[in-house]
Amino acid sequence: MNMDIFFQGLFIVSVIALIVSFFLDEPISLKRIHKNLEELGIKPLKKGERSKYKLTIKGAKGEQVIYPLNQDAFYFTVAHFAPDCEAFAEYMLELWCLTPFNLILTTDLGETKNTETLGLWQWNGKHTISICTHDVEKEVLALILLHEIAHLRIHTLTNYAYAYNLAGKRIKSPYYGMNVKPHGPQFASVFAEISRPTLDMKNLYSNKQKRHLTNYFQSPKKVHLTPLTKCGNIPVY
Ligand SMILES: [Zn+2]
């Protein structure tokens, strides 16, 4: 047997395997979300049609489809972030009902010198959370969403004298009137409070991630944000 041909064959096979695994690893399929919404009878907004909250899905070529965002649309979209963990989608829906926000899923959120932006929280009278779905592991996607909801919650707790706690009870906002740093100790503590319930969820994190996150959320003030890079790159902005 001619070894050259043998190795050439091997090379082609491994390239194909690489391509296949690339598609198998595709973290979240936007196409599948569109299909799922269609099955649910949730249609994109027509020109001029209004909706209090919106779900925007941007494709790789910049094309975008905007859906009205209600509880159903939110739940079934977020369910794609952690398909094996119903509890996660249920919990995210609870948080969304507490303070609703627009949701943007995009394959590109831009990048800075050192990091790719994977999540973004914005406020312009309404909250908007953008999530980069490209090349992101599912467990990390869940963390990005939690991270951005923590930004939203910090905004609520610094801007309103009274807010609702996670159990739905009206409380005095602990950080009211304070000018807190985007990723300072108050943020870390809110991020931990929001994320702690997810540690008991089955099929959400790998065991390694769970161990790491448990330590992280036990003393968020000490460890801040850096250790989360071990769970994949967590956005800084
Ligand atoms: Zn952030």
> What is the 123 CA–ligand 1 centroid distance (Å)?
13
Question: What is the average pLDDT across 35-60?
Answer: 94
Give 3-state DSSP helix, strand, coil % of the chain, rounded to 5: 45, 15, 40
The answer to whether 148 and 134 are in contact (CB under 8 A) is no
Say if 15 falls within a structural domain: no
How confident is the model at residue 59, as a pLDDT? 87
Q: Summarize pLDDT for 85-129 with one digit per residue, the tens.
A: 999 999 999 999 999 999 999 987 776 555 667 788 999 999 999
In a domain, 222, yes or no: yes
Distances (CA, A) of 121 to 1, 38, 53, 65, 96: 60, 27, 15, 20, 14
Residue 45: pLDDT above 90? yes
Q: Is residue 217 part of a domain?
A: yes
**Is the pLDDT assigned to residue 58 strictly greater than 80?**
yes
For ligand 1, the distance from its centroid to the CA atom of residue 31, given in whole angstroms, is 27
Q: pLDDT tens digits, residue range 143-155?
A: 889 989 999 999 9
Q: Quote the ligand 1 centre to 118 CA distance (angstroms).
A: 9
Ligand 1 centroid to residue 24 C-alpha, Å: 29
Q: How many structural domains does the chain have?
A: 1
Q: What is the mean pLDDT of residues 50-55?
A: 97
Q: How far is the CA of 145 from the centre of ligand 1 (A)?
A: 10
Structure token pair of residue 22: 């690339």
Q: How far is the CA of 187 from the centre of ligand 1 (A)?
A: 9
Separation of CA 115 and ligand 1 centre (Å): 12
Look at residue 3 and tell me if it is in a domain.
Answer: no
> What's the confidence (pLDDT) of residue 218?
75
Percentage of the chain lying above the pLDDT 70 cut? 76
pTM of the predicted protein model: 0.82
In contact, 204 and 142? CB cutoff 8 Å: yes
Is a pLDDT exceeding 80 seen at residue 33?
Answer: yes
Q: Does 160 fall in a domain? A: yes
pLDDT of residue 206: 80
Supply the pLDDT for residue 23: 43
In a domain, 10, yes or no: no
pLDDT digits (tens, 9 = 90+) for 65-74: 999 999 999 9
Q: Do 33 and 42 form a contact (C-beta atoms < 8 A)? A: no
C-beta atoms surrounding 12 within 10 Å? 10
Residue 172, domain extent: 26-229
Residue 60 has pLDDT above 90, yes or no: no
> Tens digits of per-residue pLDDT, 169-198?
999 999 999 999 888 889 888 988 999 999
Residue 209's pLDDT band (cuts 50, 70, 90)? confident
In a domain, residue 11? The reply is no
Sign of CA dihedral 98, 104, 105, 107: negative
In this structure, is residue 6 part of a structural domain?
no
